[in-house]
Structure 1
Amino acid sequence: MKILITGAAGFIGSNLTEALLERGHTVIGLDNLSQGFLLNLKNVQNHRKFRFVQGDIRDEKLVRRLTRGCDVVVHLAAFKIPRYSDAMDTLLINSHGTLSVLQAAAQYGAKVVAASTSDVYGKNPNVPFSEESDLVIGRPEVKRWSYAISKMFEEQLLFAYHERHGLDVVALRFFGGYGPNQHLTWWGGPQSVFINAAIDDQEIPLHGNGLQTRSFTYISDHVDGIIASIEKSQANNQVFNIGNTREITIRDLALLIWGLVRGDEPKLKLTPYETFGKYEDVMRRVPDISKARRLLDFDPKVELEQGLKTTIRWQIERRRALGMPTPEIKLRFEDPTA
C-alpha cells in the first residue's frame, strides 16, 4: 500500500514510518518540523520507498497533492495540551488540519486512520474506559480541555465524512505512549521529563500530589495497533482504545524511573496546579482494550520496566546527539552489584 503519514517526524509518526517500510509499504511523510525532528527519520531517510515533505497540514493544496494515489492517510500531526501557552493553536491547527486531511481523502478515496486521545474521556470517573464510555469535559475557561475537545471534534468529523462521503475511517484513542523518539519535554509526556531529571540528578516535578494514575504504552505496541487498523478491514469505521492496561500513579512512575537510573534517595518536587492558572486534572485513566483485542488482535507486549530501560538508554544517546550536557552515569539497572 501507499500511505501518507502526517506528523511523520514526530514520536509516533517516525516509529510507524520505519515499521511500515519494513512491511513493504510505500510511505510519504509530511511534517512542518515544529515539534518533530528529521533526526527521528535518520534510519529511513534514504529508503527507496520513503519520501519526506516539509509542509503544514493546513496547506490544503499540498495535502491534496500528497494524498492523490494513496490508499491510506494516517493523520498524527497535532498540537497537544497547552500548559504554558493559550489554547488557540491547539484548537485551530487540530481542527483545520483534520478537515484538510478529510477533504483530500474524500476526493481520492483514501482510508483515514486518525490519532485521537485518551484525554477525550476527561473527568469520567468510571474506569476502565471502554469506547462506549461517556466523554466528560470540564469548563470552557480551563484551557487544558482544548486538546480533548479538538480530538472530540476530529472524531465527529471522521464519522460525518463516513456518513456523507462513504469514507472509511478509524479513530484511535492512544493511552500514554513512550519510547525512542519521544519529545524530551512535557510535550513527550511525564516520563520524558522524569528521565531527564534523574539523569541530571535534579528534582522530578510532580503536578498536584502525584497520586493521579495513568497507563503507559511502549511505542511498538502503539505502532502494532496502528498497523492493524491500516491493514484490517474489521477496523473500518470504528473507534479503538490503544494502550496498556497497567495502572500506575505518577508518583510511582517517578520513583520507578529514579530507581532505574540512579537507585539513591529520589528527589521529588510537588508543583501545584495553580502554577498553570485555571487547570483541572484527570485522576485516573485506564483503558478497556477488549474491542481492540477482538477486532485488531491487539495485545500490548512490552512491560513498563522493560520499555523504560530501552527508553532511558535511548534518551541518554539522544541528549548527546543534540549536544545537551549529559553526565557520564552508570545506570542502576545495568549495575550487576545493585
Structure 2
Amino acid sequence: MPETDELYVMEGGVHGITTQESWDTIKDWLESIGKLDTTDMDSEVRIVNSDLGMDDTKETPYSYPALKDHMDLASGAGALVNTNECHIQIADNGIYSMSDGKIGAYLNTDAHASSDALGTYTDDVVKSGTIDELGKESYQLINGELTIEQGAELTGEYFEKGTPFVPTDGITLSVPEVRVFRLGQVYGYDYMVQRKYHGVPIAYHDYGNYQIYGNEYNFEEDIKHAYVVDSDGVSAYAGVNDSEPLENLYSSDEILGIKDAADILSGKMAKFLNVDVQSVCLTYVPLNLGDGSECKIYLPAWQFDGINRTKDENIRMYLDAFTGEVYYYTYGEAA
C-alpha cells in the first residue's frame, strides 16, 4: 500500500510544444550527444503534420517536410530526426523517443537509429526481474561494468531532469523492472520506467497485443523502455512522457478496502472466468472510455494480476476503488 491521504480521478492533457521549442530542443540534444557539428539540421530535422502531408516518392524521414521551412506553424509536435547516427522524435509533451546511436554503432548496423529506441536489438534476454531482485548484479557493458542498480539510478536521474520539460507536479519516477540482454559480445540493460502520482503508481505494461471484452473502454497504460549500454546512462528510449499534465477532477479519502474489492470482483467475474490471482496493488489506471473522444481518464483502482485458468491466459483486472466498476483484459499464454 502506498502512503497517501486521498486518491484522485484525473484527466490527462497535452503540454504543447512550439516549433521553435522543438528546434531548440533538438539542437541542444544533438550538442549533448556530440553530434551537432555532424548533423545538418536544415535537411535532417523533419516535421510530421497532417496539414502538410508527405511526399510518398521519397524515403522516410525525407518524405516529411523540413521543419526549417515551417517554423511559422503553431505546433512543433511531430518533429523528428532519424539517421544512421542518431534519432529523436518529439510529440505533444516533449521527446517521445531518442537514440544517441551507440547501440547501432557498436553492432555496426546500417539501420536508422530509431531501431535502437524501439528495442530492435534487445530480444536476446539472459535474465529479467525486479531491481530489488537483481540490483546488485553487474554485467560487462560497452565500456566497462555497471550494476543493474546503478543503471536504474542513472535512468531515473535522466528523466527527472526533463525531456525537455520536467515531470508534472506530483509525478515522481521509479524503475521497477529490468531485462538484461545480450548485445554482441557484451550486455545491455532494458529498464521499464513507471510514473507515480503523489506516491501511487500509474499502471504500466509492455508492448504486445491484448484482448478487451467489449468496446466501452481502452487501456492507455504507460509503456516506456529505456536502454543503458554504458556508464554514461540512457542511450535510447521510447515511451510516454512524464510532463503530461494531469488535472484533478475529483478526490476522496474513502475507498473500497481490499477485502470488499476482492468480494466485488469475485462476484462479477466468477460466472465466466476462473482466475488464479497472483498479485494485488493500488494504482491509477489510464483509460479512454470509448466515447469517441481523445480524453484519457486516470482512475484509482485495485489492480489484480493473475491467470485465467479457463483458457490458461494471463489476465489483468482493475476494480475502481471509488465505484467498484471492473475493467479487464487478457494477454498471452500463461507460463
- TM-score of the superposed pair, with normalisation by structure 1: 0.26
Structure with more of its chain in helix, by fraction:
1
Q: Larger strand proportion, structure 1 or 2? A: 2
- Which structure has the greater CA radius of gyration? 2
* TM-score, scaled to structure 2: 0.26
